[in-house]
């Protein structure tokens, strides 16, 4: 589709929610930009209108999108008609803002949208029908959210009609897919199977660019003091933060032989819990010294420093929605050689067994999670040694070369399911 490293090969990364260091939007897009710049590709980014222009990269950034789904601009409603109204307005806004940019820009060989959701899908269809082949060679739409997982920040779940709706819209791309003007991808083989079933088209499984750079990998944790276990990626109900807090309370009431302390990334004060009481930091645990909450947003460098200093990463994510969805934090941990505790029957368990080291905890069970933390603490050095040894396999799968081969549809790209399969 494109010649590697040729002059004027142009890539547009489209990330509607990218404003600052919040979430993985910036660090993901920056790493993709770095991979392509290293090959001589000209990279530009289409971001949120409020994007921080001081973010640490050198590529041109276009502040296009006045709002995004993740701003809470499109709250879900249980009534189908109201949900459809929000979806249509979101897609129209996305189309209008990106089409204005494409109309006044030179041709891009490829557009890559690493966080495509249903609120953009109709807009992409209209964009490709208008600009495909002229202003835009091909679009790669990476869909990481499963059609049955919680749909909105407010917690309303996607219903069956939404899955059917998304499958129907994906099938509208069939002709564009046959012409090579759109390709679809996701980040786990189970989720790829779901979408293949929904639309009957191919979904590639993309490796993650989120692993640390080689110079940053496999740093030894700080010597001395208690073991430090980290829950990174922001507190959330679906990430089992409530389960983790209860497990820590259990460990505090009956401390393990080896001292342990916990660091939890908690950038906002109150976390919606999908029909349950909102989650708030347990200040008693903080006052006791057992827990340190990382407030505010972390830069990519500060995040990496926390990851490297960890004796273990805790990912007690709930089976729903992580039976099909994977986690960038897991990939960062296994490629950096850090042991991980994950939930049974999730794609995280499959990924850990394929190329990581750690333990498996029962879904939503704080007592079992506390037991697994004790087990990791009791043999921390052995787990760290095995994790460092296995990191090479994870880095091979999630290599920049393999990512680029899949992004640009090179003939030598492997379509294997990989660690999540």
Q: Are residues 242 and 164 in the same domain?
A: no
- In a domain, residue 263? The reply is yes
**pLDDT of amino acid 32:** 94
Q: Please give the tally of structural domains in the chain.
A: 2
Q: Are residues 133 and 202 in the same domain?
A: yes
Q: Are residues 388 and 262 in the same domain?
A: yes
Q: Are residues 57 and 22 in the same domain?
A: yes
Q: Are residues 267 and 177 in the same domain?
A: no
Q: Are residues 119 and 241 in the same domain?
A: no
Q: Are residues 250 and 386 in the same domain?
A: yes
The domain that holds 163 is classified in CATH as 3.40.50.2000
**pLDDT of amino acid 1:** 42
Residues 6+ apart with CB under 8 A from 59: 33, 37, 43, 44, 45
Torsion of CA 376, 381, 383, 385, to 10 degrees: 170
Could you list the residue range(s) of the whole structural domain that residue 280 is in?
Answer: 215-397
Q: Are residues 252 and 110 in the same domain?
A: no
**pLDDT of amino acid 127:** 97
Q: Are residues 168 and 223 in the same domain?
A: no
- Supply the pTM of this predicted model: 0.78
**pLDDT of amino acid 354:** 81
Q: Are residues 231 and 368 in the same domain?
A: yes
Question: Which among 178, 145, 182 is positioned nearest to 162, based on CA atoms?
Answer: 145
Residues 6+ apart with CB under 8 A from 215: none
pLDDT above 90: residue 338? yes
- In a domain, residue 109? The reply is yes
Q: Are residues 316 and 377 in the same domain?
A: yes
| Neighbour-count burial of 78, counting CB atoms closer than 10 A to its CB (0-12 exposed, 13-18 middle, 19+ buried) | exposed
- In a domain, residue 2? The reply is no
Residue 31 near residue 209 (C-beta atoms within 8 A): yes
- In a domain, residue 5? The reply is no
**pLDDT of amino acid 222:** 58
Which backbone phi and psi does 352 adopt, to 5 degrees?
Answer: -65, -40
Cis amide leading into 321 (omega within 30) = yes
Q: How large a percentage of the chain has pLDDT more than 90?
A: 54
- In a domain, residue 3? The reply is no
pLDDT above 80: residue 76? no
Bridging pattern class, strands 260-265 and 358-361:
unpaired
Mean pLDDT calculated for residue range 59-67: 94
Q: Are residues 311 and 230 in the same domain?
A: yes
pLDDT above 80: residue 275? no
DSSP states along 40-91 = T-EEEEEEETT--TTSS--S-EEEEES--GGGT-S---SSHHHHHHHHHHHH
Which pLDDT tens digit goes with each residue over 218-243? 545 556 689 999 999 888 889 999 99
- In a domain, residue 322? The reply is yes
More confident residue, 114 or 225: 114
Which pLDDT tens digit goes with each residue over 354-383? 888 999 999 999 999 999 999 999 999 999
* C-alpha–C-alpha distance, residues 95 and 126, integer Å: 7
- In a domain, residue 96? The reply is yes
């Amino acid at each position: 589709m494109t010649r590697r490293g040729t002059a004027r090969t142009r890539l547009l990364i489209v990330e509607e929610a990218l404003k600052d260091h919040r979430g993985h939007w910036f660090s993901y897009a920056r790493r993709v930009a770095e991979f392509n710049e290293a090959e001589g590709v000209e990279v530009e980014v289409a971001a949120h209108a409020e994007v921080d222009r001081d973010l640490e990269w050198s590529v041109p950034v276009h502040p296009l999108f006045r709002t995004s789904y993740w701003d809470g601009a499109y709250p879900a409603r249980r009534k189908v008609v109201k949900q459809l109204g929000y979806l249509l307005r979101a897609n129209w806004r996305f189309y209008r803002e990106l089409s204005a940019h494409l109309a006044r820009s030179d041709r891009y060989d490829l557009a890559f949208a690493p966080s495509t959701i249903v609120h953009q899908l109709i807009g992409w269809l209209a964009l490709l029908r208008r600009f495909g082949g002229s202003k835009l060679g091909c679009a790669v739409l990476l869909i990481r959210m499963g059609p049955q997982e919680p749909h909105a920040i407010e917690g309303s779940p996607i219903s069956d009609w939404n899955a059917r709706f998304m499958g129907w819209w994906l099938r509208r791309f069939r002709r564009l897919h046959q012409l090579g003007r759109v390709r679809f991808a996701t980040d786990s083989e189970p989720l790829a199977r779901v979408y293949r079933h929904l639309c009957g088209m191919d979904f590639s499984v993309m490796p993650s660019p989120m692993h640390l750079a080689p110079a940053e990998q496999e740093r030894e944790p700080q010597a001395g003091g208690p073991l430090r276990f980290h829950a990174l990626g922001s507190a959330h109900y679906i990430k089992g933060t409530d389960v983790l807090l209860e497990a820590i309370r259990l460990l505090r009431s009956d401390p393990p032989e080896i001292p342990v302390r916990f660091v939890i990334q908690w950038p906002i004060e109150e976390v919606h819990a999908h029909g349950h009481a909102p989650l708030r930091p347990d200040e008693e645990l903080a006052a006791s010294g057992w827990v340190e909450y990382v407030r505010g947003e972390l830069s990519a460098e500060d995040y990496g420093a926390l990851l490297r200093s960890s004796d273990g990463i805790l990912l007690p994510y709930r089976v729903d929605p992580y039976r099909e969805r994977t986690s960038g934090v897991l990939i960062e941990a296994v490629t950096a050689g850090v042991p991980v505790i994950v939930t049974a029957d999730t794609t995280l368990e499959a990924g850990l067994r394929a190329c990581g080291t750690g333990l498996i905890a029962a879904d939503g069970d704080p007592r079992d999670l506390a037991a697994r933390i004790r087990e990791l603490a009791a043999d921390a050095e052995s787990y760290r040694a095995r994790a460092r040894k296995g990191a090479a396999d994870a880095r091979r799968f999630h290599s920049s070369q393999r990512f680029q081969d899949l992004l640009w549809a090179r003939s030598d790209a492997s379509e294997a399911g990989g660690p999540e399969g």
